[in-house]
Chain A
Amino acid sequence: MPILEVDDIGVRFGGVRALDGLSFDVDKGQICALIGPNGAGKTTLFNVVSRLYKPTTGTVVFDGTDLLSVPADQIADLGIARTFQNLALVQGLSVLDNVKVGSHARSHGGFWSCALYFPQRAEEKRITAEAMEMLERIGLADLADHPCSALPFGTLKRIELARALASEPRLLMLDEPASGLTHQEVDELGDLIRTTTADLGITVLLVEHHMAMVMSLSEKVVVMDLGSKIAEGTPAEVRDDPMVISAYLGAPA
């Protein structure tokens, strides 16, 4: 049963068609990879689902909700979390606080309640404990109080993953989680994604250039080129598709 249905999505930037009639479904609990050469429109699709870009055509339905009628800051409330290719972390906060920002959507309390401190105390304690647990899971508990600036890129990527997981999402969108990681870290990250999402029943939409990771993790692969889908199927099916090979390596002369 599909949890995310992308139908005929088109996005234009001036004369450029970043996405052109893209359609695919992601089933509940599935790890679905979105691959394609640079500029294929993978991140653009993420930005459409996050409501950062407004598509010119098409619909996106998440678990029965029309996403295009939901403002960007309520996407997290629906249970969609994401990471960014170039990181979107809060430099001025500690590692732990960054993870706690992730739990914003499932915590409560505005200025009044926060100003009085006591109404928030129990929730704050719970969020802190959960964020610490998440950091331990991801192997960064030692850095909890470290400022988020001045950490290596690979570490920041994992912090962002923890931030996304802290919102307890139903759909997790990962934009190139393996880039900038060492080979060993990539393997660890793959295991982490597989076990964590299986444990928590999270559906994953993954954009990644690291093919070994894509092939070992995903149950479904959607291949894009120039804003449209050119192939879809299991990793094995996609790997042998002549369209895919020509998109990546160029058509034979």
Chain B
Amino acid sequence: MKSLRGVGPVQSVLWAIALVVLIVLPFTSAPFRVEQYITWMTIAVAAGGLNLLTGYNGQISVGHGALYGTGAYTVAILVTDAEWPLLPTVIAAAVVCFMVGVIIGLPALRIKGLYLALVTLAVATLFPLVIEQFSDLTGGSGGLTLTSEQLYRGSIRDRRVKWESPIDGLASDQWKYFIFLGISIVCFVVIAAIVKSRVGRSLVAIRDNETAAEVSGINVSRTKIITFGVSAGIAGIGGAMFALNKGQVNPTSFTLTLSIYLLVAVVLGGASTVIGPAIGAVIYGVFIDVIAPELPETLESATPLILGTLLVAQMLMAPSGIVGWFHDLTEKVSRRRQGGGKQDKNVDVTVTTHEVVAETDLETDPGGFHP
């Protein structure tokens, strides 16, 4: 059984392939594609953060697009107005979003499920309006272009944030790709560490059985609030990466659609699996950026319909997402392959079930006093 949960041979091979693909990809793709890959990474990171909250902790948020946007605007303002160097703004975005997340999460102490979803939905809907309202700081509906006088001199055009590669033979988009890939990997390693830890267990305990969590000494309210904050912080890092990648932010980038995109990435890839949201984000990205533009023009308006149909199909065939489906598959295969010992145990378990059924059938007298 132990091997089932550890990394099996199939998984190791898949991980190795994924790593090779991630390294080779920027060298075999056109620069505009590499930009798109980075966008998928930002979505993957934000979806990974959302997954902590919605997948592991069971708190549904339809508002993480707003937190992603908050991260993006934090970076844009810090770089352009406060003249911060680029990478520290990512950490600042995480901190700001953590605090915003804690505040948005406060209602979660009283409400959950659909009601919480509605509150976060309101946050997502209001975010672009709030940004437009504070146009002095945010540039309003025109958005903000990230410029840095400290880093780059010359005309406005020259002062735009860019990523110059310090390594010969590595183009700037490739350099940027690897920096952002590094940030993304760090985010997912942190998520994995949390999920496998004492805190991760308490997240799932709260999701599945609040009473069990409470009597085991887990502070349910505090954990829920901090999870909201941490999840928001990670979504903010995704947004920060978005701003640094595009070099500009605009309220139309952070609408409700983005929040739903994040949820779709989580569910499609596999909620409460570490890597699921990343896979979901990539699949969605491939569909929108690679497949959809290739479709014949007559089908263009039908793209949402195609996507919707695919999602329905996924919910029917693999409700636990792609990673969940894959786990079930490998478990089934290894169970069949191991045969002998495992088979015995299965038989054993079924026997006990029958006995229990028999036992409960017998003991039907409610008082049960047998002196």
Contact = CB atoms under 8 A, between A and B. Distances in A.
A114 B208 contact: no
Nearest to B233: A111
Contact of B353 (A72, A110, A152): A152
Interface residues of B, number: 45
A120 B214 contact: no
Contacts of B247: none
Contact of A163 (B204, B216, B368, B371): B216
Contacts of B371: 211, 215, 239
Interface residues of A, number: 62
Interface string A73-89: 11111000110100011
A91 B207 CA distance: 10
Given A38-B367, A104-B198, A248-B369, A82 B353 contact: no
B209 interface: yes
B272 interface: yes
Contacts of A88: 209, 211-212, 215
Contacts of B197: 109, 114, 117, 120, 124
B4 interface: yes
Interface stretch (B41-49, B287-295, B354-362): B354-362
A116 to B, nearest CB: 7
A111 to B, nearest CB: 6
A81 B215 CA distance: 7
Interface stretch (A16-24, A61-69, A92-100): A92-100
Contacts of A127: 198
A212 B370 contact: yes
B211 A52 contact: yes
Nearest to A74: B217
Q: Lowest 10 CB-CB distances: which A-B pairs, in order?
A: A105-B217, A76-B217, A114-B197, A209-B368, A88-B212, A117-B193, A114-B199, A145-B1, A248-B369, A152-B353
Given A97-B204, A101-B202, 5 more contacts: A91-B209, A92-B207, A102-B216, A120-B197, A144-B1
Interface of B: 1-2, 4-5, 190, 193-194, 197-202, 204-205, 207-209, 211-220, 226, 230, 272, 345, 349, 352-353, 355-356, 359-360, 366-371
